[in-house]
Every structure is written in structure tokens, then in C-alpha cells.
Amino acid sequence: MMLSPWPWPTLFAHRGGGALAPENTLAGMLKAVEHRFAAVEFDVKLSRDRVCIVLHDDTLERTTNGHGAAAGQTWEQLARLDAGSWFGPAFAGTALPTLEAVAACCLSHDLLVNAEIKPCPGREVETGECVASELARLWRAAPVLPLVSSFSYPALQAAHAISPRLPLGWLLESWEDDWQDKLAAIDAVSLHCDEQLLTPERVEKVRSAGYRVLAYTVNEAARARALLGWGVDGLFTDALDSLPAALRD
């Protein structure tokens, strides 16, 4: 099967700023701009009052000064949190952003986007619907829509039902033998895998079926070169300050 056109670059800045800034913040997105990345990846979930927020964990302790489940707090409560001090004093007071704020930043800097739907437990369908609706609205005039991925297949099904135009990618942390049927059922464009799952044979099979292959999280140049040599289409990296130069060299 022929591969469809692919507007995204080879490298995506993982969670915005990779290892250079607090993850999933506007400060991270600006680090990607500073290091001349053309695309960023970030995570989206819902507050208690269904505001799309950019946050990886289900709980707040690791990356903010908050406590408890993110899904248990309203956006008004979450907006008061410090999402930068954990990373370093230079980022003290960094806010936890909404998807709308991240969209404004990315669009103003011409950053392409992979938005990962990261539902809190029990909110898979609700989060898929809300995030897809918001992505379609915020990028309605953009020349390239966000690439939307998730480990949650129900979230992807819900996203596809709400906004069939959004390009979808299914995320895997263990290999699934029914990957082709699952991708076809949601009109997906890509399969996103833990880089350790990939072999030349698997990459060739996925691409021969008409789907792109993306790998996370790749920080070493030798591994990146090997994956790209197998035909992998995109890499998510934390090494914003070293991997691009290493690949050029």
C-alpha cells in the first residue's frame, strides 16, 4: 500500500522542551523553538471541569507543587500551581498550561504538533472527545492539523468519531499483533512504539501496510541512525541540544 504524504519532521521535542525545561509547559515549547525544532509532542488530559490541560501524570506531585489527582481539581485550582520549581529555580512560578495556551504558542511559532491524549482513569472516551473537539477548533485554520496519539484505544475511537479529519497514531508500549486491524478501524496514519519494540522487519511490515512508524524516546545518535536506517519516520527525543547536531554530523 502506498504511504500517504507526511508533513511532520523527523524529530519531535518530547513533552515540549525535552530535558531542557519543565515538561509540558510553555517554557518547554520555547526551548524547542530556541533549538530550531519544527515539531513538539505534549500530553493532554481533563481537569474536573473538563478543561483540556497539558500534563502527563494522573497526579500532581511529580511536576507541580500540587497534591492528589489532577482530575479531582478544577482549572481554577490547577491554574494556581507552580509547574516549574521541581525542575529548577530558573523556572519557579511556571504555570501549568491549558491546551489553548499551548496551541497559541505553537501556532505563533509555526511548530507542528503531536498531541497525546492522556486520559485519567475512567475518562478515556470523555477525554478523547473533548481533546479532539478542542484540537479541531484551535487548529481549524492551520495548514497542518495536529497528529493525535494515545495509548488508550478507546480514546482514539472517541476522537475519531468526534473529528474524523484529525490524523491519528496508536501508541504501543508492548507489541500488539492486531496492530493493522486496529489502525484500519480508526483510519489511523501511524503507529508509535517504544523504540525497543522495533525491528527492521516490523518497521517494514507497518510501512508496507501504508502506515508511518514513530519511535519514543530516542536520545542516542547511534540508535537514532539505526532506526532511521530501518525506515522509521519520526523520533521523539529529550536531547534537544545534542541529537540534531549529532545526526547532521
Q: What is the rounded average pLDDT of the residues 197-223?
A: 98
Q: Residue 1: which pLDDT band, with cuts at 50, 70 and 90?
A: confident
CA distance 59 to 84: 15
Q: What is the rounded average pLDDT of the residues 136-160?
A: 98
Q: What is the rounded average pLDDT of the residues 211-217?
A: 98
Positive or negative: CA dihedral 15, 139, 173, 227? negative
Which pLDDT tens digit goes with each residue over 217-242? 999 999 999 999 999 999 999 999 99
Dig out the grid coordinates for 147 from the structure.
497528529
* Torsions phi, psi for 149 (to 5 deg): -125, 165
14, 35, 160, 192: the active-site residue: 14
pLDDT of the residue at 122: 97
CA distance 187 to 228: 24
14 is catalytic: yes
End-to-end CA distance of the chain: 33
Q: What is the rounded average pLDDT of the residues 2-26?
A: 96
SS (H, E, C) the chain: CCCCCCCCCCEEECCCCHHHCCCCCHHHHHHHHHCCCCEEEEEEEECCCCCEEECCCCECCCCCCCCCEHHHCCHHHHCCCCCCCCCCHHHCCCCCCEHHHHHHHHHHCCCEEEEEECCCCCCHHHHHHHHHHHHHHHCCCCCCCCEEEECCHHHHHHHHHHCCCCCEEEEECCCCCCHHHHHHHCCCCEEEEEHHHCCHHHHHHHHHCCCEEEEECCCCHHHHHHHHHHCCCEEEECCCCCHHHHHHC
Say if CB 215 and CB 207 are below 8 A apart: no
Of residues 128, 119, 124, the one with CA closest to residue 58: 119
Say if CB 54 and CB 97 are below 8 A apart: yes
Radius of gyration (C-alpha) of the chain in whole angstroms = 17
Which pLDDT tens digit goes with each residue over 98-124? 999 999 999 999 999 999 999 999 999
Mean pLDDT of the chain: 98
pLDDT over 90 (residue 176):
yes
35, 56, 67, 192: the active-site residue: 56
Domains of the chain: 11-248 (3.20.20.190)
pLDDT of the residue at 138: 98
